[in-house]
Structure 1
Amino acid sequence: MNSSTSSSERLSAEAKPAAGMRWQRFIRVSLTAGGLLLAAFFVSAILIDPYDSGRSPLSLKQGVRPQGPRTAAASRGRDPAFSGAIFGNSHIQLVKPDLLKTLTGIPFVSLIAPATGPKETLVLIDWYLRHRQEPAKALVISVDHTWCTPDPAMPVSKPFPFWLFSRNFAEYLFGLMRYDIVEELPRRIRYEITNAPDRARPDGYWDYEAGYVGLGYVEKPELRRRLLERQDMSGGNETGPFPAATALAALLEAESKGAPVVLVRPPLHITALPAPGSPEGRAEAACRAAFQALADERPATKLVDLRRDTPLIREPSNFFDHSHYRQIVAREVENSIAVALTSLR
């Protein structure tokens, strides 16, 4: 009995190290396999360049599949076909690059991104300028109320892929390690291997009218009534500072000293224009003065202020909401930009 018990104990004691070694080998193999898979994914992401950022050593197809403007801008902003660019958010989204080309002779790309502010726009301007083989012929920059912030951090309201446009290659590489890229890689591969793939519009134009109509902004009485209510879109900054204006001036000085620049204060419905002398009116005037000073101090720069009372902005049918106008207003914005650019030549 004692002999049998001792034998079992010895076998059990010998089995424990063996089992432990098997688990160690399993963990090592699993970690090695995981590391290899991760490395393969990482290398594939660099080579396939899912958003056509130009960082791949391979010769890939130009452009990207249809997608949101935040990521498509990496490809569009590098396209040498466009010597002019439009920057901002949905408040300048309806400005048509092809019509601006007709009016000015300059081929434009729209690098707008809805629901963005100055911080994102400055990144896109930087991306566009540093990918020019020849100096840009025109920059059109929308400076709405988000540019009036006194906060030097210039807060971001919606996610934005800063890593995609980063000057720091390590930051770009780190940005590739995300689930979005896992989803995008097979789409990019299909784009590459398809003879005539569906491509995102090269000039970036995106008409939002159908979306607003579909949401009832033309027919729903409650939405039409809301447009007639007063709304403050002054930015609320009466005394400054205006760090977005300072940052824009510094970027243009560093990257594009001679390029003609048109700063556009996009139109609002009359119910969003503040009364002169009110706190909102003082904030409106202070912000305008900051960008007027930028235009006055920088050569070949003009401020086009469309935040003013005209018959066009008094007509409710010309707007979906206080800051999103319709095509008839967009034509006026385009004409004003073209006149400003012509005056700068």
Structure 2
Amino acid sequence: MPAPGLPRSVLSAPEHPARAGAPGSDAWRCFCAGFLGLALVLGLAAVAGIALLDPYGLRAAPGRMPGPLMDGNQRFMYPQVVRSGAYDAAVFGTSTARLLDPRDLDAAFEHRFANLAMNAATPWEQASLARLFLRQGPAKAVLFALDATWCDADADRRRTTFRPFPPWLYEPDPSFGVLRQANWQALTVAGRVLLARLGLEKPRLRADGYGVFTPPEAAYDAARAAAHIHGGGSAVEDAPPAETEAAPQGEAMPALGWLDELLAALPEETLRLVAFMPVHVAAQPVPGSKRAAREADCKARVAAIGRARGAGVVDFRVPSPVTTRDANYWDALHYRLPVAPRIVAALAAARAGGGDDPDGFYRVLARPR
């Protein structure tokens, strides 16, 4: 019985806290469920969109060309060019070989070339791409465009750079890569692929991997280029990895073993070409120095490999009318666009059995079989 004089509200027991908050708790649970459901739907839609647009060409195969090449990192783009089976010849190298136009190479050697040279690629990365190319089918011609990094003693330890390298794209069957590409980068590239297919954005590279990455020729500034050449700077966004001291004479150069294996794995009828790219003399070792002696040892080893494997070896990395002229370069490593056809013509001449260039542009260290 209620105590006399006390209001009923005071004597009544308060509602249970959980019961009192039930309406708010229900709303919170609904919000969380809706948010998680929306996130799941959007996530599945993103994965499905990436799979449909196939930004890395996981479905590329002979007779099925990949879509537009839209990623800025060639390490993600070139496996699909290889898997398309559209090319029976390829260039492997760094940015010092990227200006070699496959159409010029097609005309010179009568094969269908893809330019698979990658910005700042290490020898290990180049060899990984070459192995994928060789697994795809019989190669009719290959060109290994070498920089001094192939002579480094630590090439087997410095396998990659700060740029991401996706080993799953280099596997024989990358089918399960659809899950590995479920990330923001792939979604961004897929969006660019969609824009390219709608005609709203240009592909970053041609279907054969070629793209002019140097500034427009009309923008060439001789004074600025000279400052880059002799000051150690770079006029382009991407450059080959910094060259370390080459291995001392007689020391192991592990990357040359990979080169030998790749050349040995080629069919007998395959045209094999190896070339040291023409960097400016400012980037070449000083004659008579220890570094020059080590580089000469490296070139001699490459020439021996070439002779043993029937490969032509051409050396553009020498003082010449091209490499001593500042006006031919953007910086110490990257020649201008008109130099590239001269390199192709020189390689064709070397294949035809010609010797060293009379003007000194190149030396033939080994003639192709």
TM value normalised by structure 2: 0.75
1:314-345 C-alpha deviation (Å, 9 max, x unpaired) = 22222222221234532332123223444535
Q: Is 1:244 equivalent to 2:255 in the alignment? A: yes
Query: 2-side partners of 1:55 and 1:105: how far apart?
Result: 24
Residues 72-221 of structure 1: pairs in structure 2 closer than 5 A: 72-132=77-137, 135-151=138-154, 152-163=156-167, 165-167=169-171, 169=174, 172-192=177-197, 200-211=205-216, 214=219, 216=221, 218-220=222-224
* Alignment match, 2:335: 325
Assess if the C-alpha contact under 8 Å between 1:163 and 1:172 holds in 2: no
* Paired residues, number: 335
- Judging changes above 3 Å, is the alpha-carbon distance between structure 1 residues 45 and 206 closer, same or farther for their aligned structure 2 residues? closer
| Larger displacement relative to structure 2 (85-94 or 269-278) | 269-278
Query: 2-side partners of 1:170 and 1:274: how far apart?
Result: 46
Query: 1-side partners of 2:140 and 2:65: how far apart?
Result: 26
Classify the secondary structure of the residue corresponding to 1:246. Answer: helix
* Alignment match, 2:19: 14
| Larger displacement relative to structure 2 (279-288 or 185-194) | 185-194
* Alignment match, 2:226: 224
Amino acid at match of 1:45: I
Classify the secondary structure of the residue corresponding to 1:154. Answer: coil
1:218-270 C-alpha deviation (Å, 9 max, x unpaired) = 233xx41553579996743225432222233344555x354332111111222
Alpha-carbon distance, 1:76 to partner: 2.8
Alpha-carbon distance, 1:144 to partner: 0.1
Alpha-carbon distance, 1:50 to partner: 1.6
- Which structure's residues are more often helix, by fraction? 1
Amino acid at match of 1:279: K
Query: 1-side partners of 2:108 and 2:60: how far apart?
Result: 34
Classify the secondary structure of the residue corresponding to 1:227. Answer: helix
Q: Is 1:294 equivalent to 2:305 in the alignment? A: yes
Classify the secondary structure of the residue corresponding to 1:86. Answer: strand
Alpha-carbon distance, 1:139 to partner: 0.7
- Judging changes above 3 Å, is the alpha-carbon distance between structure 1 residues 14 and 139 closer, same or farther for their aligned structure 2 residues? same
Q: Pairwise CA RMSD of aligned residues? A: 3.6
Query: 1-side partners of 2:164 and 2:213: how far apart?
Result: 20
Alpha-carbon distance, 1:64 to partner: 0.5
Query: 2-side partners of 1:273 and 1:342: how far apart?
Result: 28
- Judging changes above 3 Å, is the alpha-carbon distance between structure 1 residues 169 and 98 closer, same or farther for their aligned structure 2 residues? closer
Amino acid at match of 1:265: F
Give structure 1 stretches of 5+ with no counterpart: none
TM value normalised by structure 1: 0.79
| Larger displacement relative to structure 2 (41-50 or 4-13) | 4-13
Alpha-carbon distance, 1:281 to partner: 1.2
Alpha-carbon distance, 1:148 to partner: 2.4
Alpha-carbon distance, 1:20 to partner: 5.2
Give structure 2 stretches of 5+ with no counterpart: 1-5, 234-241, 354-367
Q: Percent of pairs identical after alignment? A: 24
Assess if the C-alpha contact under 8 Å between 2:271 and 2:311 holds in 1: yes
Amino acid at match of 1:139: V
| Structure exhibiting the larger radius of gyration computed from Cα positions | 2
Assess if the C-alpha contact under 8 Å between 2:70 and 2:193 holds in 1: no
* Alignment match, 2:56: 51
Alpha-carbon distance, 1:121 to partner: 1.7
Classify the secondary structure of the residue corresponding to 2:15. Answer: helix
* Alignment match, 2:321: 311
